[in-house]
């Protein structure tokens, strides 16, 4: 029989190895650095991700950028100096340009759909980052932060996601808007918490809501 100390040592070593693997993956993952209003030129210069190789251009003279597409693991850094945040690696995303500047950003802060018990820690982490960066709900009564601190709140959210997409609309007033969309994405019709898979979408644009 394995001694308790040996078993504990193996568990500790496994945790260290997993942590190192995650750090190594993130260290090797390319970064796309952009924010609304940033020029295409500066986006290219500030990103390790090959923006030109993944950008569709309008056939004008000279050509100008239309949209940049993500289909391989990339870390997205919303690099506003005051309200910026960094998302976990993703394989899904697009950056739209208007007159040579970033106008929209759409992505998912995950590499694949997740079961509900893995979605909640990610959602909690993401909401915490946005709160710390100064983002606030557009309408606290209708689109406030998602409450997932208790089992009752988690179960309520899970039931709701079987029927509809849940949206949190956030603002940096007079500057940016951000829609945080949480949805059941796969095997939702079965209404089985053990088999359903979930997705988070993040869409950022200008604030057209504040007066």
47 part of a folded domain:
yes
The overall average pLDDT reported for the chain is 89
Instruction: Kindly state the helix (H) or strand (E) to which residue 180 belongs, with its residue range.
Output: strand 176-186
pLDDT in tens, 180-205: 999 999 999 999 988 999 999 999 99
List helix spans (H) across 29-139: 40-46, 116-132
pLDDT in tens, 42-101: 999 999 999 999 999 999 888 999 999 999 999 999 999 999 999 999 999 999 999 999
Q: Same domain, yes or no, for 88 and 155? A: no
Q: Provide the domain count of the chain.
A: 2
Q: State in Å, rounded, how far the first CA of the chain is from the last one.
A: 70
User: pLDDT tier at 21 (50, 70, 90 boundaries)?
Assistant: very low
Helix (H, G, I), strand (E, B) or coil at 125: helix
Low-confidence winner among 98-102, 111-115, 139-143, 153-157 (lowest mean pLDDT) = 139-143
| Residue 164 scores a pLDDT above 90 | yes
Q: Same domain, yes or no, for 15 and 103? A: yes
181 part of a folded domain:
yes
Rounded to an integer, the average pLDDT of 113-137 is 96
* Spatial distance between the Cα atoms of 106 and 122, rounded to a whole number of angstroms: 17
211 part of a folded domain:
no
User: pLDDT tier at 27 (50, 70, 90 boundaries)?
Assistant: low
The strands making up 136-137's β-sheet, listed across from edge to edge, are 55-58, 64-70, 93-98, 101-107, 197-206, 176-186, 166-172, 136-137
Q: Same domain, yes or no, for 147 and 192? A: yes
Give the pLDDT confidence score for residue 127 in this predicted structure. 97
Q: Same domain, yes or no, for 103 and 120? A: no
- With a CB cutoff of 8 Å and minimum separation 6, the contacts of 90 are 70, 73, 74, 75, 76, 107, 108, 109, 110, 111
Task: Find the domain containing 87 and state its range.
Answer: 4-107
Give the pLDDT confidence score for residue 82 in this predicted structure. 97
The better pLDDT of the pair 14, 57 is held by 57
* pTM confidence score: 0.84
Give the pLDDT confidence score for residue 143 in this predicted structure. 66
Residue finishing a domain among 107, 125, 160: 107
Q: Same domain, yes or no, for 132 and 83? A: no
Residue finishing a domain among 107, 136, 157: 107
Q: Same domain, yes or no, for 38 and 60? A: yes
Q: Same domain, yes or no, for 166 and 79? A: no
Give the pair of three-digit tokens for residue 4. Answer: 């308790």
User: pLDDT tier at 28 (50, 70, 90 boundaries)?
Assistant: confident
Give the pair of three-digit tokens for residue 194. Answer: 């053990």
> What whole-number percentage of the chain has pLDDT above 90?
79
């Amino acid at each position: 029989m394995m001694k308790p100390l040996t078993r504990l040592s193996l568990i500790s070593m496994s945790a260290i190895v997993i942590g190192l693997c995650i750090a190594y993956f993130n260290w090797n993952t390319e970064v796309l650095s952009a924010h609304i209003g940033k020029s295409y030129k500066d986006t290219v210069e500030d990103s390790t991700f090959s923006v030109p190789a993944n950008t569709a251009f309008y056939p004008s003279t000279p050509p100008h950028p239309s949209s940049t597409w993500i289909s391989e693991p990339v870390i997205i850094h919303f690099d506003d100096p005051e309200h910026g945040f960094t998302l976990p690696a993703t394989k899904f995303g697009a950056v739209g340009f208007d007159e040579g500047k970033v106008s929209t950003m759409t992505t998912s802060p995950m590499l694949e759909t997740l079961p509900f018990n893995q979605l909640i820690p990610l959602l909690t982490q993401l909401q915490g980052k946005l709160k710390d960066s100064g983002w606030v709900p557009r309408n606290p009564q209708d689109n406030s932060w998602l409450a997932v601190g208790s089992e009752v709140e988690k179960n309520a959210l899970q039931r709701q996601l079987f029927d509809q997409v849940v949206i949190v609309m956030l603002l940096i007033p007079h500057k940016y808007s951000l829609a945080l969309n949480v949805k059941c994405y796969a095997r939702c019709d079965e209404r089985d918490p053990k088999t359903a898979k979930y997705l988070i979408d993040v869409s950022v644009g200008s604030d057209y809501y504040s007066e």
